[in-house]
Amino acid sequence: MTIKPSADAQKEIEMQRAAALLDAGQLVAFPTETVYGLGADAENPSAIARVYALKERPPNHPLIVHLASNADPAYWIDGAMLRAARALIDAFWPGPLTLILPRAAHIPAAVSGGQRSIGLRCPAHPLAQALLNAFNRLGQMKGAPQRGIAAPSANRFGRVSPTNAQHVRDEFGGQVPVLDGGACAVGIESTIVDLSRSFPAVLRPGHISAAQIAEALGEVPRAGRDATAGAPRASGTLHAHYAPRTPLFLCAQDEIAHALKEASARGERLAVLARGNFAEYISQSAAQYASVHIVGAPSSPSDYARALYRSLRQLDTLGCTRLLVERLPEAPVWAAVNDRLSRAAAAFAGKHF
Ligand code: TXA
Ligand code: MG
């Protein structure tokens, strides 16, 4: 008679295997509520070096350290826990918020790309937490006081972040095991708040808005250019980032309508990402154009964000010459999505629309 382990027991075995790989200095990709991460033992410089090599990321770009819900963040930081950090942790952890704080001297500089700060985040995804807990238990058996998993988004440097397990396999093939936690609920990377300088600053907008940060802090954080001038280096703050392979342009609705006509006259394969009624309208008028691919995007900012990278990856497989994305409102609710789209478009700024 064979005894089949229960689903829970199977999951536990999978977590223990993944934790053992991390313990041995290997990499494991895992889901978070934002995007999938490419994980390594945060205190093992040679494991960190593997992350940089696999991602083809310059070694001076710091990684985020992921912590279990019951971890003590003070282990990772230098000096006393700031009141501002405590307020944001209480309000938003576990969740899609990364804090930049002064790094404790005993934490290897490799994880921070040599900087004196460290990025900390406590993800809400249950599989991420299960992995962190299994990795911590293994550490405790070896006398390690705390453990964390350093993880950038599990994509090659500069590319679109993965929001499901297949995306990660598409990036790295079989080079790294992937824990499959389904599609990410948030879909874009965490909000990054820098608390390592004399003022709070949003270095990367995300699902948790600047207004929510302000409310929790009782102080309006700097944002945009005011936040990033002189900031610790964050690769997501590079002007060009998050780019698909197909040249991407942000266009007003009338520009898209015009481009559709021109493209169909030339037989050019064109991809369009547009919302709601406008997507429907151009789909109807473009039904006769075989060379045009129109993908509808959701109308609300959080639904749009959740679908964005999946849509960009899908559109990227169509062999189109250009990807036209409907320009979104400049309102604060669209800040995070506009940030990613404008960086994707910036990668093609030299090209002619
Ligand atoms: O949602 C997320 O944050 C995802 C998931 C996997 O947690 N991770 C992610 O990692 O987006 P990555 O490496 O693709 O982007 C992390 C950003 C980078 O822009 C990095 O430069 C910045 O965080 N960062 C990390 N540590 C930092 C530090 N000490 N100082 C300044 N920026 C830091
Ligand atoms: Mg990334």
Per CATH, domain 2-228 is 3.90.870.10 = yes
What's the CA angle centered on 158, arms 178 and 125, to 5 degrees?
Answer: 35
What integer pLDDT is reported at residue 286 of this predicted model?
67
Q: What percent of the chain is helix, strand and coil (3-state, nearest 5)? A: 40, 15, 40
pLDDT in tens, 214-224: 999 999 999 98
Measure the CA–CA gap between 64 and 122, rounded to whole angstroms. Answer: 10
pLDDT (tens digit, 9 = 90+) per residue, 222-249? 998 888 777 776 555 566 778 899 999 9
Q: How far is the CA of 185 from the centre of ligand 2 (A)?
A: 17
Q: Which residues surround ligand 2, an ion (CB under 5 A)?
A: 153
Dist CA 68 CA 121 (whole Å): 9
pLDDT in tens, 196-209: 999 999 999 999 99
Structure-token pair, residue 10: 């199977």
Ligand nearest to the CA of 155: 2
Q: What's the pLDDT score for residue 291?
A: 80
Q: How far is the CA of 7 from the centre of ligand 2 (A)?
A: 32
244 in ligand 1 pocket by Cβ < 6 Å? Answer: no
pLDDT at 350: 72
| Mean pLDDT (the chain, rounded) | 93
Q: Where in the chain is the domain with CATH 3.90.870.10?
A: 2-228
| Rounded CA separation 264/277 (Å) | 21
Backbone φ and ψ of 16, nearest 5°: -65, -40
Q: Where in the chain is the domain with CATH 3.40.50.11030?
A: 248-346
236 lines ligand 1 (CB under 6 A): yes
- Give the number of the atom of ligand 1 that is nearest the alpha carbon of residue 151: 6
Span from the CA of 137 to the centroid of ligand 1 (angstroms): 25
Which CATH superfamily does the domain covering 248-346 fall into? Threonylcarbamoyl-AMP synthase, C-terminal domain (3.40.50.11030)
pTM of the full predicted structure? Answer: 0.95
* pLDDT tens digits along 246-295: 999 999 999 999 998 888 888 899 999 999 888 888 888 766 666 888 89
